Amino acid sequence: MLGQRKTDPFFTALLDIALHVQQSMHYANDCKVESIADLQEVSTRMKAYETSGDTLIHELITKLNASFITPIEREDILEIAITMDDILDGIEHYFANLEMFSFIEIDEYMQTFIENIMKSTDEIVAAMELLTKKKLVEMRTHAVQIKEYERICDEVLRTSIKQLFLNEKDPIRIIQLKDLYELLEDIADYCQDVANNIETIIMRNA
């Protein structure tokens, strides 16, 4: 069991990464895309989030390389950090594709994906806050909720693709939309990866 001492800098770093990912997803959820100019602005902003996230990961790796002792296995610290960063990379890639396709219509399926991914990042932050307090067992509730949001996204993917092939006649648009839906489902899977890493940390240290 981890001792109840002051906040560990590695746990603080993981919380900082989680907060950064959460901020990017709230921006993705709240942004309004009504024109190509809006889309370019959002894509540029998401790229900035992604670049800043890479910096946070680099700083964590530097700290890991310089430290002889870590509060939990260094592989677990690195793995959960990288999977959180995967969420950020994924949402940046999604908006980059929107811009590449000049696609300003964010439909109800995309919005539902984004809302559930955003809620997952809220749960990730809550779990990382508990980690900084060394309340490992309490993190499990948030891991379970993240998996529920991923399950919802699975259903959205099946429904969206089914409706796409039923209703859309333009083959180019079918390809574009299918790619976008699958990108968003990949991001939900990254959130589930974080949940799995949370459970691994609990199992090994609680």
Task: Give all domains of the chain, ordered by start, each with its CATH number.
Answer: 9-205 (1.20.58.220)
Both tokens of residue 73? 């296995």
pTM: 0.94
- Whether 139 and 131 have beta carbons less than 8 Å apart is answered as yes
Give the integer Cα–Cα distance in Å for 41 and 46. 9
Listed in sequence order, the DSSP H helices in the chain are 9-30, 36-66, 74-101, 108-132, 140-167, 171-205
Q: pLDDT (tens digit, 9 = 90+) per residue, 154-167?
A: 999 999 999 999 99
**Cα separations (Å) of 63 from 8, 59, 76, 128?**
12, 6, 14, 18
DSSP 31: -
Q: pLDDT (tens digit, 9 = 90+) per residue, 32-77?
A: 888 999 999 999 999 999 999 999 999 999 999 998 899 999 999 9
